[in-house]
Amino acid sequence: MLTVLLVLAALAQNPSGQPSRDRPVVNNDRQPDAEIIVFDELEIARRRAHLDQTLMGLGYQAHRRTRDGTLYRPDVAWHPTVVVHDEGFVVLKRSRIRMEPLMDGRTPLRWLSCVPSLGIGCVRGGGPLFVSPRKLSHKKSALLDEIDPSLDAWREAITTAHTQRRLDEDLPDLIDSIWFAGVTDDPKAAVIEDMSQRKLTLMNLWISRTCTPEGQIARSRITDFFSEVVQTSQYPITEEERRHAEASNQCGATLGELDDNVSLDANHTQQ
């Protein structure tokens, strides 16, 4: 009976019974004002496919893969070629001269638009050689206006996923590397041997985080490390160091703000 009730409750939340693919996953591990939206790889791929469909609807076809993206050729010879790079940006450029076979089942109208070449092919009339820079520039602007919504949505998913990866993977690795090995993210920097200097390096990392939800979450990650590792070591943060860090932070954050359980030294009273 309990199982039936649970199923009915789930269907009431989602009558179709299908998973919602349009709703991104929300990170609720932190307080609400430090909340960011997380996109997984499937959501990034879905938005990339939507951009591809938008281009196809505008008369473009995926022609070939480049080293770091996909090249789309237009059905209309003089329209700009589109290169969509995997990093999330698009380049529009003048299309190359298009050679087509002479024996291509052409209608008389198509033959009129074909300029014979020296070989066994023809050059499409009205192609890139016959369009003015002004006309091409206008077409590029119009094309960008058409694809901007799909492109922006794809970029948002990429950027947010990268941000989350930095918070969940890169930042914890960097914190551990600084504290346990004395190695920062600067490949030219010398190894920090002194533990007090390692502590100050971590505190500077906390101070320098941005005044954004992502920066607030990063400060929270570092504060957790202070509470769980640094404060239980032989080199805990002193009250003077705490006051200096909080005064130096431009966002008005405090070391006790993101984790109520932080105890910075024996004389520190929890807020």
Same-domain pairing of 195 and 139: no
Contact 271/256 with Cβ under 8 angstroms? yes
Same-domain pairing of 65 and 142: yes
Q: Is the pLDDT of residue 34 over 80?
A: no
| 6: its two tokens | 């649970």
What radius of gyration, in Å, describes the C-alpha atoms of the chain?
A: 29
Q: CA dihedral defined by 33, 39, 43, 48, rounded to 10 degrees?
A: 100
Inside any domain, residue 220: yes
pLDDT category of residue 270 using cuts at 50, 70 and 90: very low
Contact 54/147 with Cβ under 8 angstroms? yes
Same-domain pairing of 101 and 206: no
133-165 and 41-57 helices cross at what angle (nearest 10)? Answer: 170
Total domain count, the chain: 2
pLDDT score at 110: 52
Same-domain pairing of 137 and 103: yes
Inside any domain, residue 259: no
Same-domain pairing of 144 and 55: yes
Q: Return the number of other C-beta atoms located less than 10 Å from residue 45's C-beta.
A: 12
Same-domain pairing of 141 and 239: no
pLDDT score at 77: 83
Same-domain pairing of 197 and 135: no
Q: What is the rounded distance in angstroms from the CA atom of residue 13 to the CA atom of residue 4? A: 15
Inside any domain, residue 269: no
Q: Which of 35-44, 71-80, 124-133, 179-188 has the lowest mean pLDDT?
A: 124-133
Inside any domain, residue 29: no
Inside any domain, residue 254: no
Inside any domain, residue 152: yes
pLDDT score at 59: 95
pLDDT score at 16: 43
For the stretch 216-226, pLDDT in tens is 999 999 999 99
For the stretch 109-149, pLDDT in tens is 454 555 554 445 565 544 556 678 899 899 999 999 999 99
Contact 153/39 with Cβ under 8 angstroms? no
Q: Which domain holds residue 236?
A: 182-248
Same-domain pairing of 61 and 149: yes
Inside any domain, residue 14: no
Q: Which of 127, 160, 193 is the last residue of a domain?
A: 160
Q: Which of 94-103, 173-182, 247-256 has the lowest mean pLDDT?
A: 94-103
Same-domain pairing of 90 and 142: yes
Q: Is the pLDDT of residue 174 over 90?
A: yes
Same-domain pairing of 53 and 144: yes
Same-domain pairing of 74 and 122: yes
pLDDT score at 97: 66
For the stretch 156-165, pLDDT in tens is 999 888 888 9
- State if pTM tops 0.75: no
Inside any domain, residue 176: no
